Structures are given as C-alpha cells and as structure tokens.
C-alpha cells in the first residue's frame, strides 16, 4: 500500500487561497482526524468546515474529497482549499504529517497517476510542459498532448510491429513452408519502409512542435559597431542594450525575449568580435563565440557589402551554423542586392529580419494545431526506432532469415512501448517526474 502524501499545490506565498493536496489509501482517514466534520469515505464530496488542531480552529476551509479511482492519481485524494497564509497552510501540513502522511516529492502525484494507468508517459510529460509554457501556443500543444492525441500518433507503428511479431510466430510454428518465409520477409520490408517514412514525418513535425513549445535561441554576432545591440533593441522594442558609436560597447552577453508568431525567441546580443588587446573585451569576445556556437540560429550583422578581414573572420566562425545574414544601416548605405536582408535598426526598421526568422522556423498552421511528439526524450526514442527499422530493412534485403530479424523487431516493439511508458521502466519514469514541482 502506498503511503498518503501531502503537499502544497499552490505557491508557498501569501495569497487569497491556497490548496493543500493529499493522496493515498489512508487519506480520508488521516484528514478526518483534523477536519471538523465526518467525511463519507464511500464517495466524492465537497464539504465546508474547519481544520482543527484538537479544540483549536486552524482555518475555515472547503474540502474536496475524491473517491479513487475517479481522481487525478487514481487513489483516494483530498484537496483542502484554505486561506492563503503561510502560517495556515504550514499548520495544515504539519497536522497531516503528525497524523501519518508524509511530504510528497516532486511530481509524485503525476507519478502515481501514471502508475495507476490514468496517464501514459507522453501525457505525464505534457503536464510539466503545460505548467512551464511561456506562450499561448506552447500551452495549446501541451494540452493536445495531455488529452492523449499525441500518444495516438504512436498507435499505427505499434499495430504494424505487433502484426510483424505475429508473422514471426507463424514462421516459428510452420518452419517447413519456405514460401511463407519469403512472403513474410517482403511484408517485413514493406512495413519497415512505410514506418520509416511515417517516423520521419513525426520527427520533422516534432522538431517544429518543439520550437513552438520551447522557443528558439538566436545569437546576434558581427564585428564591433555594425549595430548588433541596436538590432536587439529594435526586435525587442525596448532600449535593453547600451548603444554607442564607441567600438566595443557591448562586453557581456545581453539577453532578451520576444514572441514572434507565438514562438518564444531568446535573443542574445554579443560583444563585437575582433582582435583585441583589451582583457575584458577579450573575455566578452570568447563569450560571443560560445553563444554563437550554442545558438539554434545566428544573425550575422554587417554594415557594408564590401566585407573586410574582420567580417570574413566572422563568416568563417559561422560557416557551419544556420545563419541569417543582415546588412544594417540601410539608411546611410546603399545596398543594391535585392535578395539580401536589409535593416535600419536606428529607425527600428527590422521587419525584413523578422520575416527572415519566420522563414527559417518554417512553421505552417498545422504545426500550431496538430499534436506532435516533441520532447527530447520522445524524439530521441523515435530516432532510435528509425535506425533500428532501417537496420531490419537492410538485413531483410540482404537475405537474413526471419529468425534472426525477430530479435531486432522485438527490440523495436519494446522501444515503442517505452515512448508511452508501457514497458513499465519505472527508472525512466522516476527521472521524468523528478523534474516536476512538488504538489504536481
């Protein structure tokens, strides 16, 4: 039997109301010991009453009792809605601990919901995404995942591989029919081919879903004085970074966030990159290079099409990065090439740069409204499954027998189950839930 856990589900600060949450088989019994009224242990109820420490009133509260399995965790659960004073909710938690509950660890409620089959692992992960979402669009993606739509994307793969495993059984049962093996090898190849294609589309959609969910990191780089900080300020629409005509104004990385078509853009303005004897500027330049290496997209800024040695060094640094080249100061410079991105940061004219960023993100309307498999864990497993399928396809093409292919196909099946947690690998689940906040 699992112990009854208790935690504050709302922030540990003064507020109008707070919620103290309990879950576990004994929770009705434990809460009854300090609640002023009898709790009916046979059904879910809402009650008004008092939390009592012996004869002393602690608070006037509303109590929600959820009879398992019809609760979030699947177990008997209670939520006490009290007044939002730290003195009050701490006293209620102390009473719970005194009467046999223990403090919940991070994500323990969701972990119990997972163990009681109320949620699969993909749904459970989406709860964290929901809580951490920074844009409306990110929240919508998490919500789609929570209702099980994302998990359903896995179903066709699971069905196909399950079917293959049954074909393997047939071959084991009737080894004398060589024609059967031949036909089944062809089926294995067909199914691998079809699913590899499907997984590729899931990965591509998932990467886009991830951008909507997590946002994207963009570094602005260039030699000193080309207008990097001015571009940051124009994109953020605020005077965040110091701008001056002095070369080497920006020393440390300046960070800002803005939202472009529902995507959170984490923008990093960096120190101008050049050969410098100045010790502090040198540290800034090292940081610039580090930022550009870590960024998803780099905006490289120039203020002339006639590139000098410093500009060329920048181009060399970014040669392996996904880059947007920007020519700034278009108000004083003539840029004749109409294909390039031109800005006048001083006039806050950076619309063409915003359009270029959107083009790079390459998101369609579908990416915002359709579920996608977008967590790093899930995408990692999908990539792995794709590789395993490619191996089975190649082995099958090279005349390897079904017997030998079967071990790999079984591994593929297990990996599919691990996506939703159906393989019951509780170590992985534990790792995921440890990232949750306490009370969730």
- Interface with ligand GTP by CB under 6 A: which residues? 222, 224-230, 243-245, 247-250, 271-272, 328-329, 331-332, 344-346
Strand order in the sheet with 323-327: 254-260, 263-269, 216-222, 297-302, 323-327, 341-342
The number of beta carbons lying within 10 Å of the beta carbon of residue 252 is 14
> With the CA atoms of 377, 379, 383 and 386 taken in that order, what torsion angle do they form, in degrees rounded to the nearest 10?
120
Classify 226 as helix, strand or coil: coil
The least CB distance from residue 250 to Mg ion, in Å, is: 3
The one among 128, 145, 229, 233 contacting Mg ion by CB under 5 A: 229
Report the candidate in 283, 310, 340 with the shortest Cα–Cα distance to residue 221.
Answer: 310
Query: Choosing among Mg ion, ligand GTP, none, which partner's interface includes residue 344 (Cβ < 5 to 8 Å by kind)?
Result: ligand GTP
Is residue 250 part of the contact set for Mg ion (CB under 5 A)? yes
Alpha carbons 177 and 278: distance in angstroms, whole number:
80
Nearer to ligand GTP, 226 or 267 (CB): 226
Q: What's the chain's length in residues?
A: 440
**Choices 229-237, 292-300, 337-345, 396-404 (CB under 5 A): range interacting with Mg ion:** 229-237
Nearer to Mg ion, 299 or 416 (CB): 299
Alpha carbons 405 and 139: distance in angstroms, whole number:
42
Sequence-distant (6+) residues with CB within 8 A of 437 are: 106, 107, 131
Report the candidate in 64, 10, 7 with the shortest Cα–Cα distance to residue 35.
Answer: 64
| Phi, psi for residue 340 in degrees, rounded to 5 | -90, 165
Nearer to ligand GTP, 199 or 232 (CB): 232
Alpha carbons 149 and 68: distance in angstroms, whole number:
25
| Residues 348/325, Cβ–Cβ less than 8 Å | no
Residues that bind Mg ion (rule: CB under 5 A) add up to a total of: 4
- C-alpha distances in angstroms, 275 versus 242, 306, 313? 21, 19, 10
Is residue 270 part of the contact set for Mg ion (CB under 5 A)? no
The least CB distance from residue 296 to Mg ion, in Å, is: 21
Q: Could you tell me the two tokens for 244? A: 């001056």
The least CB distance from residue 229 to Mg ion, in Å, is: 3
Place of tokens 């749904």: 123
Query: Choosing among Mg ion, ligand GTP, none, which partner's interface includes residue 224 (Cβ < 5 to 8 Å by kind)?
Result: ligand GTP
Looking at residue 344, the DSSP 8-state letter turns out to be: B
Nearer to Mg ion, 38 or 245 (CB): 245
Query: Choosing among ligand GTP, Mg ion, none, which partner's interface includes residue 247 (Cβ < 5 to 8 Å by kind)?
Result: ligand GTP
Alpha-helix residue ranges (DSSP H) falling in 147-250: 149-152, 155-173, 178-214, 228-236
Nearer to ligand GTP, 351 or 387 (CB): 351
Query: Choosing among Mg ion, ligand GTP, none, which partner's interface includes residue 245 (Cβ < 5 to 8 Å by kind)?
Result: ligand GTP
The least CB distance from residue 259 to ligand GTP, in Å, is: 22
The least CB distance from residue 251 to Mg ion, in Å, is: 9
Nearer to ligand GTP, 171 or 229 (CB): 229
| Residues 205/153, Cβ–Cβ less than 8 Å | no
The least CB distance from residue 219 to Mg ion, in Å, is: 13
Alpha carbons 292 and 300: distance in angstroms, whole number:
10
Nearer to Mg ion, 221 or 264 (CB): 221
Query: Choosing among ligand GTP, Mg ion, none, which partner's interface includes residue 209 (Cβ < 5 to 8 Å by kind)?
Result: none
The least CB distance from residue 305 to ligand GTP, in Å, is: 15
Q: Could you tell me the two tokens for 384? A: 């792995």
Nearer to ligand GTP, 189 or 287 (CB): 287
Is residue 73 part of the contact set for Mg ion (CB under 5 A)? no
**Choices 97-105, 211-219, 226-234, 259-267 (CB under 5 A): range interacting with Mg ion:** 226-234
Nearer to ligand GTP, 122 or 271 (CB): 271
- Interacting residues toward Mg ion by CB under 5 A: 228-229, 249-250
């Amino acid at each position: 039997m699992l112990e009854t856990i208790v935690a504050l589900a709302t922030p540990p600060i003064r507020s109008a109301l707070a919620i103290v949450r309990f879950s576990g088989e004994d929770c009705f019994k434990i809460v009854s010991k300090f609640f002023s009224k009898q709790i009916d242990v046979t059904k879910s109820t809402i009650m008004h009453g008092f939390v009592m420490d012996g004869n002393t009133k602690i608070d006037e509260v509303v109590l929600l009792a959820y009879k398992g399995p019809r609760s979030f965790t699947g177990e008997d659960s209670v939520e006490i809605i009290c007044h939002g004073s730290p003195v009050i909710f701490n006293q209620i938690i102390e009473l719970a601990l005194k009467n046999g509950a223990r403090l919940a660890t991070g994500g323990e409620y969701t972990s119990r919901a997972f163990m009681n089959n109320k949620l699969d692992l993909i749904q459970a992960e989406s709860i964290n995404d929901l809580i951490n979402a920074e844009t409306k669009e990110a929240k919508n993606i998490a919500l789609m995942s929570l209702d099980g739509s994302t998990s359903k994307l896995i179903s066709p793969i699971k069905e196909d591989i399950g079917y293959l495993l049954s074909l393997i059984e047939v071959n084991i049962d009737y080894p004398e029919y060589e024609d059967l093996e031949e036909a089944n090898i062809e089926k294995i190849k067909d199914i691998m081919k079809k699913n590899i294609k499907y997984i590729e589309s899931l990965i591509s959609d998932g990467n886009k879903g991830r951008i909507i969910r997590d946002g994207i990191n963009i570094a602005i780089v260039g030699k000193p004085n080309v207008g990097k900080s001015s571009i940051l300020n124009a994109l953020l629409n605020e005077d965040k970074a110091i701008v001056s005509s002095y070369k080497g104004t920006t020393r440390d990385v300046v960070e800002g966030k803005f939202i472009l078509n529902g995507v959170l853009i984490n923008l990093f303005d960096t120190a101008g990159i050049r050969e410098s004897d100045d010790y502090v500027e040198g540290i800034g330049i090292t940081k610039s290079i580090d930022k550009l290496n870590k960024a998803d997209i780099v905006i490289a800024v120039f203020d002339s099409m006639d590139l000098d040695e410093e500009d060329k060094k920048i181009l060399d640094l970014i040669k392996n990065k996904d880059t947007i080249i920007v020519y700034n100061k278009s108000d004083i410079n003539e840029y004749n090439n109409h294909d390039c991105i031109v800005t006048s940061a001083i006039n806050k004219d950076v619309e063409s740069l915003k359009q270029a960023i959107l083009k790079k993100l390459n998101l369609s309307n579908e990416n915002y409204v359709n579920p996608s498999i977008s967590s790093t864990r899930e995408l990692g497993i999908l990539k792995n499954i794709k590789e395993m399928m490619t191996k089975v396809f190649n082995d099958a093409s090279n005349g390897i027998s079904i017997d030998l292919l079967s071990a790999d196909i079984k591994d593929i099946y297990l990996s599919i189950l691990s996506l939703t947690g159906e393989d019951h690998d509780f170590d992985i689940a534990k790792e995921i839930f440890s990232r949750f906040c306490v009370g969730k």
